[in-house]
Structure 1
Amino acid sequence: MPDSTPLRGSVPSSYVLLLYDHLRHQGYDATVLLGQPPPSQEDTPGRTPITEWKRLLERAAAALDNPALGLRLGQQITPAYFGLMGYVLLACPHLGAALQRLRDFERLFYDVSPLRVQYTDDALVLEWGTENGRPGVLVDEAAISALVHMARDITGQPQISPCRIDFVNAASCPKAAYAEILGCAVHFEQSATRVHVPLTWLAQPLRQADPQLLQLLQQQAAEQLRRLPPRGALSARIRDEMPALLQQGAAHADAVAQRLHVSPRSLHRQLAREGLRFGALRDECLHQLACDYLADWRLQLSEIAQLLGYSEQSAFTRAFRRWHGCSPHQYRKQLRTEAGPGI
């Protein structure tokens, strides 16, 4: 029986940039193919709802007729695409320490179902269940392929591989592709997604270990983690879903409640327990998204108004004046001045 748990959570927007870069290197106009511009690089450390990440991967895989897109995408990973946490991992002394940081800061890597860690006689097992829904084969395969190739990158050992990998999904492509890309036995339709890491890996030194830099980066990562809403909080789920709902013109309480599989009354009651009102939370999301979009110089003001669900640019301008005390044009002009002559 299919898992009906509503999918919720988010991933770093840098993962989405990896998809855009991959498509561009394949000769495609990613903005046209995916129907929207990439996340602004000024939006670091931006977050993308897991539902949106799933949709973008599925659209790209269908356009390319490539069911193995997730596996192939993971092969292109570098520390930069993990954002701040990529450099945290790279600065660790050995792979065991890097995997511990993965556990400590897991929500900055992949904020969907929580990571569980256990040991067997010969392996460290990283496991993700389906408590917060099933993102699907492309999301799961991209994440696990990226994890394997990140380990190869930071150790400088391209030949190392896990003992075994389990996926909750069926295979997306011929099984030979999994052996080629992941380098180990792979099992499908399992109770959870797991990566079995050989204990002999853990002492493997990393190619750019830097204890002093690691301490500084961990402080920054801890601050990013502190800013994330509590896992499972309704307000966090609404913030995750708001960009897509705004573009669909469905960012009102009844539509949000339907999307999150709660009644409108329950939505308002749960938000009240968090000390929030829906209208104020919606305005907060609109304001933050507007500032993020205005930092992307490629977007016209009319396009930003449309992304935020406004039928007219003038309505967006009035709302932005109310939030920020100036017009969107004035705000963008100030950003350009602060950024300097290179922009």
Structure 2
Amino acid sequence: MDETRVAASYVQLLFEHMAALGRADALGPPPAPSETFVALKRWQALLAQARDLDPGPKATFALRLARGIAPRHFGVVGFAALACNTLAQALQRLERYHRSVYDVNIVQVRSSADGLSIEWGVERGRPGALVDETAIAALVQLARAFTGEAVRARAVDFVNPRPADLRPYEDFFGGTVRFGQPVTRVVLATRDLALPMRGADPALLALLDAQAEALLQSVAAVSGPVAVWRQALVGLIRSGRTQLADLAQALQMSPRSLQRRLAEHGHSFQTLLGQTRQQLAEAYLRDGSVELAEVALLLGYSEQSAFTRAFRQWTGQAPLQWRRQQAS
């Protein structure tokens, strides 16, 4: 599990929780704006430290922490999910791009007559009760935030040992909760999957699709495999997957092979990523209806400040300055 990680935007949830307790500096500095991910080991240590500092019952710390979850903590994936029409569509996006938020164990989603089952095995190890309980509680709480409804889980399973008192878990999730199970699992009812999203924005989704399509058209003039790589990278950027390994997986290549091929064509991954991000950024900025914070999320940045610094390096101007210049 040494290589597993979670999104820096997700880790911000913990620092916000501690700030609400008046202990904003107790955990040390939060992830830097330039950090996209945080190693799982660091996340485990931060959770344990915060649990010990929290004045509430230690056994239910993860449940209290999860109550503060918001779409922004899931980065661009949460933003895109929020614009969907129904909870089912939002969960599909979270499933497809979950590795950009929570890269611990592989997720499997199964439909049945009873509802939708979302499962995580233990192929890559057991991250522990704090990590698992925070993740599952955050997912259910996010469904509530998405819909504005008190979504109840039909069933929740954890691989970790049973705590002394199940009642707080049953109260939080609203259904049967079991421990010591083969997989971590949450089951949502079919009727809840049809719940409309509070932030449904078909126009925004259409805009994102149109902008991405426009970029694909613009890069079509690039010859050879570079065009293929850049086109694949567009979709990855929109889902917050901006690592070399993500592109290699999309192209069904090993990261080492991709690096070698890029070098053969006079590119590095960071150069290709930067050029593609710049083209996307300029396309979004030309549309005044897209806020700067939204542009940052759509480009896979966890913080607007990181996007601003990158854009200055590309163009010598701040995004707002560039947008105003183009408009004039």
TM-score (norm. length: structure 1): 0.62
Q: Distance in 1 between matches of 2:51 and 2:83?
A: 34
Q: In the alignment, which residue of structure 2 is the partner of 1:54?
A: 44
Structure 1 residue 155: deviation in Å? 0.6
Structure 1 residue 139: deviation in Å? 0.8
Matched, 1:222 2:222: no
Q: Does structure 1 conserve the Cα–Cα contact (< 8 Å) formed by 2:119 and 2:184? A: yes
Q: Does structure 1 conserve the Cα–Cα contact (< 8 Å) formed by 2:7 and 2:37? A: yes
Name the Cα RMSD after superposition. 3.1
Q: In the alignment, which residue of structure 2 is the partner of 1:151?
A: 143
5+ long unaligned stretches in structure 1: 1-5, 234-269, 277-283, 286-330
Q: Distance in 2 between matches of 1:130 and 1:198?
A: 25
Structure 1 residue 153: deviation in Å? 0.8
Q: Distance in 2 between matches of 1:148 and 1:118?
A: 17
Q: In the alignment, which residue of structure 1 is the partner of 2:54?
A: 64
Paired residue secondary structure (2:245): coil
Q: In the alignment, which residue of structure 2 is the partner of 1:89?
A: 81
Q: Residues 221 and 198 (structure 1 numbering): CA distance in 2 closer, same or farther, change over 3 Å?
A: farther
Q: Does structure 2 conserve the Cα–Cα contact (< 8 Å) formed by 1:88 and 1:217? A: no
Q: In the alignment, which residue of structure 1 is the partner of 2:105?
A: 113
Aligned length: 239
Matched, 1:100 2:92: yes
Q: In the alignment, which residue of structure 1 is the partner of 2:199?
A: 208
Q: Distance in 2 between matches of 1:106 and 1:271?
A: 20
Q: Distance in 2 between matches of 1:271 and 1:213?
A: 33
C-alpha distance after superposition, 1:258-293 (max 9, x if no partner)? xxxxxxxxxxxx9977769xxxxxxx99xxxxxxxx
Q: Distance in 2 between matches of 1:216 and 1:197?
A: 30
Equivalent residue letter for 2:9: S
Paired residue secondary structure (2:142): helix
Q: In the alignment, which residue of structure 1 is the partner of 2:8?
A: 13
Q: Distance in 1 between matches of 2:65 and 2:8?
A: 15
C-alpha distance after superposition, 1:217-264 (max 9, x if no partner)? 575763155522437x9xxxxxxxxxxxxxxxxxxxxxxxxxxxxxxx
C-alpha distance after superposition, 1:169-197 (max 9, x if no partner)? 12456211112222111000110100111
Matched, 1:195 2:186: yes
Paired residue secondary structure (1:124): strand
Structure 1 residue 211: deviation in Å? 1.3
**Identity of paired residues, percent?**
37
Q: Distance in 2 between matches of 1:132 and 1:146?
A: 21
Paired residue secondary structure (2:52): helix
Q: Does structure 2 conserve the Cα–Cα contact (< 8 Å) formed by 1:93 and 1:205? A: yes
Equivalent residue letter for 1:8: E
Structure 1 residue 216: deviation in Å? 4.8
Note the 1:1-343 alignment, pairs <5 A. Answer: 6-29=1-24, 31=25, 33-34=26-27, 36-40=28-32, 42-43=33-34, 46-64=36-54, 66-157=58-149, 159-172=150-163, 174-216=165-207, 222-223=236-237, 224-230=239-245
Q: Does structure 2 conserve the Cα–Cα contact (< 8 Å) formed by 1:103 and 1:115? A: yes
Q: Does structure 2 conserve the Cα–Cα contact (< 8 Å) formed by 1:7 and 1:133? A: no
Equivalent residue letter for 2:200: A
Paired residue secondary structure (1:227): coil
Q: Distance in 2 between matches of 1:78 and 1:338?
A: 31
Q: Distance in 1 between matches of 2:206 and 2:64?
A: 33
Q: Residues 84 and 24 (structure 1 numbering): CA distance in 2 closer, same or farther, change over 3 Å?
A: same
Q: Does structure 1 conserve the Cα–Cα contact (< 8 Å) formed by 2:75 and 2:240? A: no
Q: Distance in 2 between matches of 1:62 and 1:221?
A: 41
Paired residue secondary structure (1:127): strand
Q: Does structure 1 conserve the Cα–Cα contact (< 8 Å) formed by 2:10 and 2:101? A: no
C-alpha distance after superposition, 1:139-179 (max 9, x if no partner)? 1111111100110111111x221100001112456211112
Equivalent residue letter for 1:207: R
Q: Residues 177 and 195 (structure 1 numbering): CA distance in 2 closer, same or farther, change over 3 Å?
A: same
Q: Residues 134 and 8 (structure 1 numbering): CA distance in 2 closer, same or farther, change over 3 Å?
A: farther
